[in-house]
Amino acid sequence: MEISKQGTLLKNPINILLMLSGLVLIGCSSANSPDSAPASYLTVPVAHPIKMNVTEWDEYSGRFRAMERVEVRARVSGFVEAVKFKDGDMVHKGDVLFIIDQRPFNIALQQAKAQLEQAKAQEKQAQSSFERVRSLQGSKAISQEEFDGREQALYAASAQVEAAKANVNNAELNLEFTVVRAPISGKVSEDYVNAGNLISGGTDQATLLTTIVSLDPIYFYFEGSESAFNKYSSYNEGNIEGSRVTVQLLGEEEFTHEGKLDFTDNEVDLGTGTIQARAILQNSDFAIESGMFGSARLAGTGEHEAILIPDAVIGTDQSQKIVFVLADSNKVQAKPVQLGPLYNKDLRIVRSGLNADDQIITGNILKIRPGMTVAPESREIVGLTKN
Residues 21-32: pLDDT tens digits? 443 334 444 444
Q: Give the pLDDT of residue 324.
A: 94
The phi and psi torsions of 79 (rounded to 5 degrees) equal -90, 135
Q: Give the pLDDT of residue 25.
A: 36
Q: Give the pLDDT of residue 132.
A: 72
pLDDT band at 70 (very low <50, low <70, confident <90, very high): very high
Position 13 pLDDT exceeds 80: no
Q: What is the mean pLDDT of residues 256-261?
A: 90
Those residues whose C-beta lies under 8 Å from the C-beta of residue 226, and which sit 6 or more positions away, are 268, 273, 274, 275
Give the bridge partners for 295, in sequence order.
61, 248
Q: What percent of the chain has pLDDT over 70?
A: 83
Q: What percent of the chain has pLDDT over 90?
A: 44
The phi and psi torsions of 205 (rounded to 5 degrees) equal -100, 20
Q: Give the pLDDT of residue 203.
A: 85
Rounded Cα gap, residues 262 and 295, in angstroms: 17
Rounded Cα gap, residues 211 and 291, in angstroms: 14
pTM, rounded to two decimals? 0.66
Residues 351-369: pLDDT tens digits? 889 988 899 998 888 888 9
Give the bridge partners for 249, in sequence order.
294
Residues 19-67: pLDDT tens digits? 444 433 344 444 444 433 345 889 999 999 998 888 777 888 999 999 9
Of 2.60.40.1120, 2.40.420.20, 2.40.50.140, 1.20.140.10, the CATH number of 45-53+306-378 is 2.40.420.20
pLDDT band at 126 (very low <50, low <70, confident <90, very high): confident
Which comes out higher in pLDDT, residue 310 or 298?
Answer: 310
Give the fold, CATH level 3, of 74-213.
Answer: OB fold (Dihydrolipoamide Acetyltransferase, E2P) (2.40.50)
Q: Give the pLDDT of residue 273.
A: 87
Q: List the domain boundaries for the chain.
A: 45-53+306-378, 59-67+214-299, 74-213
Q: What is the mean pLDDT of residues 68-72?
A: 94
> Mean pLDDT across the chain, nearest whole number?
82
Which comes out higher in pLDDT, residue 190 or 19?
Answer: 190
pLDDT band at 264 (very low <50, low <70, confident <90, very high): confident
Q: What is the mean pLDDT of residues 222-239?
A: 72
Q: Give the pLDDT of residue 39.
A: 54
Rounded Cα gap, residues 251 and 234, in angstroms: 34
How buried is 287 (Cβ within 10 angstroms: 0-12 exposed, 13-18 middle, 19+ buried)?
exposed
Count CB-CB contacts under 10 A for residue 111: 13
Domain covering 59-67+214-299: architecture:
Beta Barrel (2.40)
Topology agreement, domain 45-53+306-378 and domain 59-67+214-299: no
Position 267 pLDDT exceeds 90: no
State which amino acid sits at residue 151.
E
